[in-house]
């Protein structure tokens, strides 16, 4: 697969020799990150069948140019699909195109099917009714707000309306509310010959199917049985292989029908590692962005450099959060990178192995069906990214991450000499055994002081214990563990620090004190940022006093607690607060640099492939 840029849109071209190609149409908002692995899997599945595929980001989404919350973009998204069809024809010479979309992307694909090359559609869980879709988004936002810590919840406002980090303008919501896909297709200017629909619920697309069949379209419907295990946050999502394989088979049957006269057996390919294209450059008002491949594993990332780049200067490594692609949830990492570029700070947002657009962890190239969010390989990859940037001449490499990304950033800084500083946002634990499952970690988080403290005063919570619905032993264990940590914090002093220093090595870095002492020894400037009431504060408070006040005794490691910061920085004000803290922290790392004298090479491709 090869990254390409056309008209400011970033995309991936997956090779194939057939005369029929496929354009994949992404879902929107938080579902874009949630659905990324499925779209890549489907592209590779089709490419193995020798079908050329283009998957891409609409303007103002993903890695493409544009600001993601500007006005109504519905018609623009449809136009983007038309531009993608033309680009696929230009690159591969295809004469027929299947549009395949997921969720809102499926709806957009149907609306874009009037393009003369498009003769078939594959619609996965299409949004049939805009009002219902907006109600789902509103309910999701309400659930998110209700689960925020009280301090952060009290600061929430309804405008601008955002859902898990994606802002929806009033104009865009107005257009979305008018969507009725069945009615629209009744009067559509051109009809595809074949349509495949995978429904979440039986009969969900009935009005669409009736409209299509009335106009002579061959419609096949299937049940999207694995949808609900799939369409959720990336840490918990399971790849819907069954539905994706059926979709690929349906598209491939269309290829066979196109080429009935060709009696040659169908060709298959192995999944390929990413390769580069010289013209794949993303130009924004504040930065020049280049796709890069680096390291022995062939990791993929986007290097974002300010237009007025400074020689040397600092650079941020933006890590993956859980299993989310390098763009971040609802494009958060892209916004962070471009905001920092406005402030003269470069960044690399990249994918670790098994995540996003980097190669799989498995040697045979098989994608993981579920994310492994605290894998040692992820920590190694963050270190690889830091070392690569250091070799490119950056003075200070700063690893940045949120939640699990904060963990991989922090742990990488302990072993990679190139990483000079860390910004860890809502770090949950200073050490997490790789063998610990996500469910086990969540069970531990149920018994944090942030949750148990307020629950003590609620009779209904005690009733759960007395009735046997909630075990008492884990609760007692949590209180004892917290008390022991606080006692240890009081007793630890110079003797403990010397003991840690004498042992050395990463094997001893399993408790918060040993981690902090190691950061001090190594000289890693560290900023621990927490939202008020975040569960990660539980360990910080237990070991270093309320809000980490005892870290004032250290020279390199500091903590900041912000009242307006939610756990994942979904609130736009939370991201703004973290950007402000990060800018100050990074500019304090080094003296002013001088402007660049020589231009960079057009591509930052590592020679160590």
Q: At what angle do helices 104-111 and 74-92 cross, to 10 degrees?
A: 70
Q: What is the pLDDT of residue 219?
A: 97
Nearest CA among 398, 392, 358 for reference residue 605: 392
Q: What is the pLDDT of residues 175-192, one digit of tens each?
A: 999 999 999 999 998 899
Residue 274 pLDDT > 90: no
Helix or strand holding residue 332 (H, E): helix 332-342
Model confidence at 312, in pLDDT bands (50, 70, 90)? confident
Q: What is the dihedral of CA 373, 377, 380, 384, to 10 degrees?
A: -100
Q: What is the pLDDT of residue 259?
A: 64
Nearest CA among 578, 571, 566 for reference residue 534: 566
Average of pLDDT values for 321-327? 96
The rounded distance, in Å, linking the Cα atoms of 455 and 470 is 13
Q: What is the dihedral of CA 211, 180, 175, 100, to 10 degrees?
A: -60
Quote the tokens at residue 271. 């999944």
List for the chain the helix, strand, coil content (%; round to 5): 40, 20, 40
The rounded distance, in Å, linking the Cα atoms of 273 and 281 is 19
Model confidence at 598, in pLDDT bands (50, 70, 90)? very low
Q: What percent of the chain has pLDDT over 90?
A: 74
Burial class (CB in 10 A: 0-12, 13-18, 19+), 494: exposed
Average of pLDDT values for 311-339? 95
Residue 464 pLDDT > 70: no
Average of pLDDT values for 334-349? 97
Model confidence at 50, in pLDDT bands (50, 70, 90)? very high
Q: What is the pLDDT of residue 279?
A: 76
Average of pLDDT values for 318-328? 96
Q: What is the pLDDT of residue 97?
A: 97
| CATH superfamily for domain 287-438+495-587 | Alpha/Beta hydrolase fold, catalytic domain (3.40.50.1820)
The rounded distance, in Å, linking the Cα atoms of 23 and 228 is 24
Model confidence at 255, in pLDDT bands (50, 70, 90)? confident
Residue 450 pLDDT > 60: no
Higher pLDDT, residue 6 or 482: 6
Q: What is the pLDDT of residues 393-430, one digit of tens each?
A: 999 999 999 999 999 999 999 999 999 999 999 999 99
The rounded distance, in Å, linking the Cα atoms of 509 and 404 is 17
**174-183, 269-278, 433-442, 577-586: which range is least confident on average?**
269-278
The rounded distance, in Å, linking the Cα atoms of 606 and 609 is 6
Q: What is the pLDDT of residue 263?
A: 44
Average of pLDDT values for 162-183? 96
Same fold: 2-131+169-258 with 287-438+495-587: yes
| CATH superfamily for domain 2-131+169-258 | Alpha/Beta hydrolase fold, catalytic domain (3.40.50.1820)
Model confidence at 515, in pLDDT bands (50, 70, 90)? very high
Residue 167 pLDDT > 80: yes
Residue 502 pLDDT > 90: no
Q: What is the CA radius of gyration of the chain?
A: 25
Model confidence at 506, in pLDDT bands (50, 70, 90)? very low
Helices (H) and strands (E) in the chain, counts: 21, 19
Higher pLDDT, residue 372 or 282: 282
Domain ranges of the chain: 2-131+169-258, 287-438+495-587
Residue 212 pLDDT > 90: yes
Helix or strand holding residue 98 (H, E): strand 96-102
Model confidence at 275, in pLDDT bands (50, 70, 90)? low
Quote the tokens at residue 566. 């939610």
Residue 574 pLDDT > 70: yes
The rounded distance, in Å, linking the Cα atoms of 124 and 106 is 6
**pTM: predicted TM-score of the whole model, two decimal places:** 0.87
Q: What is the pLDDT of residue 368?
A: 78
| Average pLDDT value for the chain | 87
Q: DSSP letter at 551?
A: G
Nearest CA among 529, 61, 70, 577 for reference residue 334: 61
Q: What is the pLDDT of residue 373?
A: 80
Average of pLDDT values for 313-323? 96
**10-14, 111-115, 157-161, 376-380: which range is least confident on average?**
157-161
Q: DSSP letter at 4?
A: E
């Amino acid at each position: 697969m090869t990254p390409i840029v056309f008209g400011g849109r970033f995309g991936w071209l997956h090779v194939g020799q057939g005369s029929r190609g496929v354009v994949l149409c992404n879902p929107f908002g938080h579902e874009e990150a949630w659905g990324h692995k499925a779209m890549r899997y489907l592209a590779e599945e089709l490419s193995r069948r020798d079908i050329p595929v283009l998957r891409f980001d609409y303007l103002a989404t993903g890695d493409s140019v544009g600001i993601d919350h500007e006005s109504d973009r519905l018609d623009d998204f449809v136009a983007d699909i038309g531009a993608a069809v033309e680009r696929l024809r230009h690159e591969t010479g295809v004469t027929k195109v299947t549009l395949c979309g997921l969720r809102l992307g499926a709806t957009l694909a149907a609306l874009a099917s009037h393009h003369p090359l498009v003769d078939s559609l594959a619609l996965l869980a299409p949004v049939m009714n805009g009002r219902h879709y907006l109600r789902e988004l509103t309910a999701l936002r309400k659930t998110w707000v209700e689960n925020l810590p009280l301090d952060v919840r009290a600061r929430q406002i309804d405008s601008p309306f955002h859902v898990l980090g994606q802002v929806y303008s009033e104009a865009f919501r107005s257009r979305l509310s008018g969507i009725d896909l069945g009615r629209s297709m009744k009067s559509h200017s051109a009809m595809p010959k074949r349509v495949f629909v995978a429904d979440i619920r039986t009969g969900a697309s009935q009005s669409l199917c009736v409209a299509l069949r009335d106009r002579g379209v061959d419609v096949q419907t299937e049940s999207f049985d694995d949808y609900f295990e799939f369409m959720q946050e990336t840490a918990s999502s399971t790849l819907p292989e069954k539905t994706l394989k059926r979709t690929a088979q349906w598209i491939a049957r269309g290829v066979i029908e196109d080429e009935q006269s060709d009696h040659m057996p169908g060709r298959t390919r192995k999944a390929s590692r990413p390769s580069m294209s010289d013209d794949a450059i993303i130009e924004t008002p504040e930065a020049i962005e280049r796709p890069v491949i680096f390291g022995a594993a062939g990791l993929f990332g986007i290097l974002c450099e300010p237009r007025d780049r400074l020689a040397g200067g600092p650079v941020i490594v933006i890590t993956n959060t859980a299993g989310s692609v390098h763009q971040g949830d609802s494009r958060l990492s892209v916004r962070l990178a471009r905001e920092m570029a406005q402030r003269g700070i470069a960044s690399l947002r990249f994918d670790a192995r098994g995540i996003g657009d980097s190669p799989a962890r498995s040697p045979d190239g098989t994608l993981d069906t579920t994310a492994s969010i605290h894998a040692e390989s992820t920590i190694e990859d963050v270190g690889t990214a830091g070392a690569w940037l250091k070799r490119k001449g950056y003075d200070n490499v700063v690893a940045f991450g949120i939640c699990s990304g904060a963990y991989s950033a922090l742990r990488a800084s302990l072993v990679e000499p190139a990483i000079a500083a860390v910004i860890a946002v809502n770090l949950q634990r200073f050490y997490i055994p790789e063998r610990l499952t996500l469910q086990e970690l969540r069970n531990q988080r149920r018994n944090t002081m942030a949750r148990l403290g307020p629950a003590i005063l609620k009779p209904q919570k005690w009733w759960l214990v007395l009735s046997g619905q909630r075990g008492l032993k884990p609760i007692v264990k949590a209180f004892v563990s917290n008390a022991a940590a606080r006692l240890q914090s009081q007793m630890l002093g110079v003797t403990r620090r010397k003991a840690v220093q004498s042992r050395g090595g990463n094997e001893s870095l399993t408790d918060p004190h040993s981690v902090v002492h190691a950061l001090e020894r190594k000289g890693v400037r560290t900023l621990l940022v927490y939202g008020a009431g975040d569960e990660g504060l539980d360990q910080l408070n237990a070991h270093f006093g309320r809000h980490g006040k005892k870290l004032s005794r250290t020279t390199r490691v500091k903590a900041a607690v912000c009242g307006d910061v939610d756990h994942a920085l979904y609130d736009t004000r939370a991201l703004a607060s973290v950007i402000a803290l990060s800018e100050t922290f990074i500019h304090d790392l080094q003296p002013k640099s001088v402007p660049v004298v020589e231009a960079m090479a057009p591509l930052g491709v590592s020679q160590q492939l």
